[in-house]
């Protein structure tokens, strides 16, 4: 799957989000090494801090289905501009998807930009500290 196609799946995944309070839809499409794609959308609750981001819904779903190796994740939102993952999601993506993960952002014009997860979370904490 090419990056733009994965980006478009992230745009589609926004329709599954449940941003009851912010009204800000975020969609994610996570590509596993075997070619399977996992969608995610942000889900909000009345206790705002219990909200979960789109990226994490996708990753946790993939993990629970037994996936352990990932190529890339695409992220789309209601903003005109690219929507980069929040700090918490950067840590989760690094820990659960690995240092080689590509993070593809897609804006409202369906232009894409790509980063390595390690560019987005430099000087990171990680499993090496816990050995
Ligand atoms: N949000 C995400 O889903 N992913 C991010 O990386 C940034 C923020 C969501 C959380 C919340 O539902 C809404 O965007 C506004 O913060």
Local structure of 112: helix, strand or coil: strand
Alpha carbon distance 54, 112 (integer Å): 18
**Which pairs from 59-64 meet CB under 8 Å and 24+ separation?**
59/30, 59/92, 59/93, 59/96, 59/97, 62/30, 62/32, 62/36, 62/38, 63/96
Catalytic residue of the set 12, 33, 44, 55 = 55
Q: Which residues approach ligand 1 with their CB closer than 6 A?
A: 19, 22, 24, 26, 42, 44, 51, 53-55, 85-86, 89
Q: Which domains does the chain show, CATH number per domain?
A: 3-130 (3.40.140.10)
Instruction: Judge contact between 106 and 112, C-beta under 8 A.
Output: yes
CB proximity list for 24: less than 8 A, separation 6 or greater = 42, 77, 78, 79
Orientation angle between helical segments 87-97 and 54-64, nearest 10 degrees: 20
pTM over 0.85: yes
Best substitution site from 40, 43, 51 to test ligand 1's pocket, by max atoms within 8 Å of Cβ? 51
Local structure of 74: helix, strand or coil: strand
Instruction: Judge contact between 118 and 93, C-beta under 8 A.
Output: no
From first to last of its 131 residues, the chain has per-residue pLDDT tens of: 999 999 999 999 999 999 999 999 999 999 999 999 999 999 999 999 999 999 999 999 999 999 999 999 999 999 999 999 999 999 999 999 999 999 999 999 999 999 999 999 999 999 999 99
């Amino acid at each position: 799957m090419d990056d733009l196609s994965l980006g478009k799946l992230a745009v589609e995944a926004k329709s599954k989000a449940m941003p009851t309070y912010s009204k800000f839809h975020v969609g994610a499409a996570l590509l596993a090494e075997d070619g399977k794609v996992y969608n995610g959308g942000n889900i909000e609750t009345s206790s705002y801090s219990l909200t979960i981001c789109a990226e994490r819904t996708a990753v946790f779903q993939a993990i629970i289905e037994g996936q352990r190796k990932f190529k890339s994740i695409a992220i789309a939102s209601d903003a005109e501009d690219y929507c980069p993952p929040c700090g918490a999601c950067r840590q989760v993506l690094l820990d659960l998807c690995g240092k080689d993960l590509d993070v593809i952002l897609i804006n409202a014009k369906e232009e894409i930009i790509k980063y390595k997860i390690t560019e987005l979370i430099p000087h990171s904490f990680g499993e090496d500290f816990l050995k």
